[in-house]
């Protein structure tokens, strides 16, 4: 998705960053002012010391008209300046870190919140998204911590110092030092700026590819080891690592050149001032203490100037990362939210009417004119061979995407007119591959009902037929399930996810192969328990299943084949037809 960023595009990216992080701009301004103050105090401290030493040395030689400064007075003033400098430096660092970390928080929250309503996120790999949400957001920090304040300080501090030197000592000395520093500030940081930007974008892309590769390897570790793919995955990692090093090399070489040039120039600035000022002092046009203070001040400016030597590199890195973050945040909303509320109800009727849908990039439709109804309060089963379109129907019913043609309606209202949050409050999905997060069982269950009591958690676990197993665990509800629920079995993970969905009190419970990890006897128990729950609450159940046993307990069965409805009716009627679609599906199974 990344593309070259021109000058105007970079300006737009900077404006977007500043708008997105607007709450941190006031403390950023305060931090910048404190940085300027601290650096000016540092210059004043060194200049004061040089002036005092020069005056003392002249007095010691017995030069006419010279007197040694009072040691106590000079020390007291230096201590005061040092304390003020320390306070300003502390304030700058405190506010600067506050700005940096708050900016990262704002960017990360903006990115994650943008993922929820957009179906396009499914077209980005999890590793790529992980890189954008973590590494790329982290690298934007340099824009706030190592770009704005250093650049402003590198302008204001030298300009102020040069003006003071010119007004109090010598304009030739001031301008000689300023000419050298101007090259260090305005020319050197821009050396290879275009190459640095290209290298930063290439580095960001290669780093994302490496992160995606490592993420896939870790997530698929069982398959990697089971199929003996470790050598290939390691070779791929090495190749990506080499590509990353090659991408960073141009920026690294430029950084070395800029660093060397700045070091030479910051040393040349006081020497230039001394070269111009020495003849003036010899002619009596400039006092030696004033020359010493001016040269010391020009030398001290080196610290300020060094702060911008890497601005081109850090800015390029930050903007390349910000570009990748912005690409996620500002992808057009493909599924605009509706504005019609969905009233709470015991159950809802869901209807598909002439639905046609083709997956992005696919050459043929996954659904071909599907017309079906899941009636309120009933258990409706979608059955069919793998790839027949069952799960796609569920995805569209939850508005993970919109059909290419036809409509899907809830109680007669087109889903596209309804508020997505309301829809997902009433229709709750239990996916085939349920996900648990690292934390306790109770924390995972309360994701859908934060205020639920332990008794309510146990009630939901009982309906899901997993309560006894949870009670037998050493920590009960406080048992930590591990990342992706790895400390519980697949069947337990599925039923815990089912209990979590039940806690949301859905009007229509949507199940995608909920019995896939269960043995037949346990599957029967779970469905019997769900039937009791449905009768008690009035909620409906819409289920995708590959198992044909137990269909007689459903109220309504929809048989799909190759993206089309081939049978639709009461299970007894469909089972009674020995040559019907359900019978053919059973024979294939």
For 477-527, the pLDDT digits (tens) are 898 887 777 778 888 889 999 999 999 999 999 999 888 778 888 988 999
Sheet containing 556-561: order of strands: 427-430, 508-512, 540-544, 379-384, 556-561, 564-569
Same domain, 77 and 9: yes
Within a domain: 297:
no
Residue 356 β-bridge partners = 405
* Statement to judge: residues 355 and 493 lie in one domain: yes
374 and 274 in a single domain? The answer is: no
Residue 305 inside a domain? The answer is: no
Banded pLDDT at 289 (limits 50, 70, 90): very high
User: Can you read off the two tokens belonging to residue 12?
Assistant: 């737009």
Residues 336-348: pLDDT tens digits? Answer: 788 899 998 889 9
User: Would 501 be classed as within a structural domain?
Assistant: yes
| Domain end among 285, 302, 324 | 285
User: For residue 339, is it within any domain?
Assistant: no
407: three-class secondary structure by DSSP: strand
Q: Is the domain of 229 the same as that of 360?
A: no
Helices (H), 414-474: 420-426, 441-445, 454-463, 467-472
Residue 165 is assigned to a structural domain of this protein:
no
Specify if 299 maps to a domain: no
- Give residue-wise pLDDT tens across range 538-572: 999 999 987 777 788 889 999 998 899 998 888 88
Q: Are residues 106 and 215 in the same domain?
A: no
Highest mean pLDDT of the ranges 135-144, 242-251, 348-357, 506-515: 348-357
Residue 296 belongs to some domain of the structure: no
**One domain for residues 176 and 102:** no
Alpha-helical (H) ranges within 144-287 are: 149-168, 171-182, 193-219, 221-226, 230-282
* Domain-located, residue 340: no
Question: Both 183 and 125 in a single domain?
Answer: no
Verify that 55 and 143 share a domain, yes or no: yes
Strand partners, 202: none
Contact 289, 125 (CB under 8 A): no
Q: Of 366, 385, 344, 300, nearest to 45 (Cα)?
A: 300
Sign of CA dihedral 415, 416, 418, 419: positive
> Look-up: residue for tokens 């509800």?
477
Are residues 121 and 223 both part of a single domain? no
Share above pLDDT 90 across residues of the chain, in percent, rounded to a whole number: 47
pLDDT at residue 2 greater than cutoff 60:
no
What is the Cα Rg of the chain in Å? 35
Encode 199-209: b = buried (16+ Cβ within 10 Å), e = exposed. Answer: bbbbbbbbbbb
- Whether 571 and 551 have beta carbons less than 8 Å apart is answered as yes
Of 475 and 45, the structure prediction assigns the larger pLDDT to 45
Measured over the CA atoms of residue 391, residue 397, residue 398 and residue 402, the dihedral's sign is positive
415 with 554, same domain: the answer is yes
| CATH number, domain with residue 396 | 3.40.50.300
DSSP bridge pairs for 544: 382, 512
Same domain, 526 and 392: yes
Place of tokens 């599924």: 335
Domain count for the chain:
3
CA distances from 500 to 74, 84, 297 (A): 72, 57, 67
Task: Indicate if 187 and 149 belong to the same structural domain.
Answer: no
State the pTM of this model: 0.70
Q: Are 539 and 377 in contact (CB under 8 A)?
A: yes
pLDDT for 509 equals 94
Domain of residue 265 covers 170-285
Nearest Cα to Cα of residue 512 among 429, 388, 393: 429
Roughly what angle, to the nearest 10 degrees, separates helices 171-182 and 149-168?
160
Q: How far apart are CA 445 and CA 447, in angstroms?
A: 5
Q: Which residues contact 147 (CB under 8 A, 6 or more apart)?
A: 311, 314, 315, 318
């Amino acid at each position: 998705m990344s593309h070259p960023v021109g000058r105007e595009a970079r300006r737009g990216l900077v404006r977007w960053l500043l708008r997105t992080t607007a709450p941190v701009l006031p403390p950023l301004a305060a931090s910048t002012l404190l940085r300027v103050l601290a650096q000016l105090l540092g210059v004043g401290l060194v200049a004061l010391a040089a002036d005092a030493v020069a005056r003392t040395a002249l007095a010691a030689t017995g030069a006419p008209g010279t007197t040694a400064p009072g040691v106590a007075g000079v020390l007291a003033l230096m201590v005061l300046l040092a304390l003020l400098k320390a306070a300003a430096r502390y304030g700058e660092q405190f506010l600067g870190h506050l700005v940096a970390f708050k900016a990262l928080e704002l960017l990360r929250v903006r990115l994650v919140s943008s993922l929820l309503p957009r179906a396009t996120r499914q077209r980005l790999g999890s590793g790529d998204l992980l890189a954008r949400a973590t590494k790329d957001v982290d690298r934007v920090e340099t824009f706030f911590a190592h770009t704005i304040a250093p650049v402003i300080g590198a302008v204001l501090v030298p300009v102020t110092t040069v003006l003071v030197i010119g007004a109090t000592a010598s304009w030739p000395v001031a301008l000689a030092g300023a000419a050298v520093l101007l090259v260090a500030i305005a020319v050197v940081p821009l050396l290879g700026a275009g190459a640095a930007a290209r290298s930063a974008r290439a580095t960001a892309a290669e780093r994302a590819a490496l992160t995606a590769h490592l993420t896939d390897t870790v997530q698929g570790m069982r398959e990697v080891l089971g199929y003996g793919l470790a050598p290939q995955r390691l070779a791929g990692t090495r190749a990506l690592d080499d590509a990353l090093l090659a991408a960073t090399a141009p920026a690294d070489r430029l950084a070395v050149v800029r660093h060397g040039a700045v070091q030479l120039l910051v040393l040349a600035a006081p020497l230039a001032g001394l070269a111009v000022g020495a003849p003036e002092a010899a002619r009596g046009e400039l006092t030696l203490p004033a020359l010493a203070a001016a040269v010391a001040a020009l030398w001290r400016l080196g610290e300020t100037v060094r702060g911008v030597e890497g601005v081109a590199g850090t800015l390029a890195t930050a903007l390349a990362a910000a570009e990748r973050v912005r690409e996620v945040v500002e992808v057009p909303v493909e599924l605009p939210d509706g504005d019609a509320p969905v009233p709470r109800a015991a159950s809802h009727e869901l209807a598909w009417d002439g639905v046609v849908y083709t997956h992005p990039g696919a050459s043929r439709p996954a659904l071909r004119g599907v017309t079906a109804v899941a009636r309120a309060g009933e258990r409706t089963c979608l059955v069919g061979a793998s790839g027949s379109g069952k799960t796609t129907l569920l995805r569209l019913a939850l508005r993970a995407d919109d059909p290419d043609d036809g409509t899907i309606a809830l109680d007669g209202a087109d889903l596209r007119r309804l508020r997505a949050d309301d829809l997902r409050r009433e229709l709750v999905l239990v996916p085939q591959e349920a996900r648990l997060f690292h934390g306790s069982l109770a924390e995972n269950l309360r994701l859908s009902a934060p205020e639920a009591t332990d008794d309510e958690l146990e009630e939901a676990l009982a309906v899901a037929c997993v309560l006894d197993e949870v009670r037998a665990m050493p920590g009960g509800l406080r048992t930590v399930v591990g990342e992706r629920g790895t400390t519980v079995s697949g069947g337990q993970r599925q039923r815990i996810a089912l209990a979590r969905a039940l806690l949301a009190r859905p009007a229509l419970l949507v199940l995608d192969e909920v019995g896939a990890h269960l043995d037949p006897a346990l599957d029967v128990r779970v469905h019997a328990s769900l039937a009791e729950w449905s009768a008690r609450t009035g909620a409906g159940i819409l289920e995708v299943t590959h198992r044909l046993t137990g269909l007689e307990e459903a109220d309504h069965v929809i048989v799909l084949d190759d993206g089309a409805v081939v049978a639709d009716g009461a299970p007894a009627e469909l089972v009674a037809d020995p040559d019907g679609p359900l019978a053919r599906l059973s024979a294939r199974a």
